[in-house]
Structure 1
């Protein structure tokens, strides 16, 4: 009975992880579409302004503010065992607040809330996910050094997590953005070797091919 309950809990966690990933991908697609619309509207505004003597102004552009927290704070420096006595409802509520901010595009709030989560709940079942989304909240705002540290912390503390393949993939992405090309190539190659057949491995292969074509 205990084993069945543990298996059921693990299945629920896996399903939640997949749902979160799909929700985040949808949000990224929506953000991309919004950015494309703003860019198109801006160009139309400039054209109209040129034809009408500058009467029509360009549409304003928007961008997410990058969190400014230092990389050492992002990792959280969790204390082992702190989460063992935590109330499950409180853990879930804190996680939901952070994830809601991420889905809403408030990346500064998301990074703050996920960082607070991993500090307060360092050993909960949701902690690996929190580290992953902490890294994403920095990656999307191009704060690559802090994103890299968050992904690496996940891999160090939770190497068997379901989020490990995606975290290793994002380590490679972050390294490339930081101009660490050789390290990025090695990491992306490792993703394919360590997690063959996964979506992360496929994405790593595609990115590696693009990197090799320009370097």
Structure 2
């Protein structure tokens, strides 16, 4: 069956679309509720005839080409959807990166505040020890060109060497105090105040950011868990150094020993221990 002469010069697909555009409005103008008169019936017959012709043309075109007629979705919509999905992934990645940067910024701010507080604490602890101890030691001798006292000759009183090192710390000379306490530990490895000298040595190393050496000094200071005024603070300082060295499990274990070994530690020490535990994410 052939298409009408007016449509015969177009391709089969164009004919089908054109006839559908013509037929649908015409069909929509006929009310289903009203009875059809003779004129409308003839018009409907003609429309059905045209539809049969169009169907025959489509089927004939499919048989000749051997390719089924399939309506494909617009490629533009698929690409837009892909771009939208990629943008969503990028937004999630940026959100995660922003969260990580904020956490790093907070940790850096905490570290800076801790360093400032540590310097003040060193001065405060040294002052209190000076007031509590009545050693009567004379003022330290003049140091060398770098501010550190020379190595004590044989027969020098260990109390004088300890007081000289501590005075350097009180004066804010942390480099000189570090060298002086290191010399004291080397010269008097078995002295009664050597653990305390290791504790103060750890303090000077912490101020300078040498966490590995500081941790070693604190370990030497609290070996045997001495019952001294500075031991609880040395334990917390060791935990803080371990956190800085990315060893949170060891830091948490050290803080656990603090509560067991020094249950009567000062409130300030306990507060710093709690802050360190939160930073290490102890369970």
Work out the CA distance in 1 between the residues paired with 2:122 and 2:237. Answer: 18
Alignment of 1:38-187 (within 5 A): 90-156=157-223, 158-162=224-228, 163-187=230-254
| 1:171–1:99 distance in 2 versus 1, CA, 3 Å | same
Correspondence 1:204 to 2:273: yes
- Mark the runs of 5 or more structure 1 residues left unpaired by the alignment: 1-20, 29-85
Work out the CA distance in 2 between the residues paired with 1:94 and 1:177. Answer: 31
Shift of 1:114: 0.3
Work out the CA distance in 1 between the residues paired with 2:210 and 2:235. Answer: 17
Work out the CA distance in 2 between the residues paired with 1:192 and 1:126. Answer: 24
Check conservation: 1:101, 1:109, Cα contact below 8 A.
Answer: yes
Check conservation: 2:248, 2:281, Cα contact below 8 A.
Answer: no
Work out the CA distance in 1 between the residues paired with 2:160 and 2:193. Answer: 11
- CA distances 1:49-83 after superposition (whole Å, capped 9, x unpaired): xxxxxxxxxxxxxxxxxxxxxxxxxxxxxxxxxxx
Shift of 1:142: 0.7
Aligned-CA RMSD value = 2.9
Q: How many residues align?
A: 135
**Aligned with 2:123 (options 16, 20, 24):** 24
| 1:153–1:126 distance in 2 versus 1, CA, 3 Å | same
| 1:147–1:97 distance in 2 versus 1, CA, 3 Å | same
Shift of 1:197: 2.5
- Mark the runs of 5 or more structure 2 residues left unpaired by the alignment: 1-119, 128-153
Shift of 1:181: 1.6
Shift of 1:124: 2.5
| 1:104–1:146 distance in 2 versus 1, CA, 3 Å | same
- Residue 49 of structure 1 corresponds to none
Shift of 1:184: 1.3
- Residue 82 of structure 1 corresponds to none
Larger Rg: 2
- Residue 54 of structure 2 corresponds to none
- CA distances 1:100-119 after superposition (whole Å, capped 9, x unpaired): 11112211111111011111
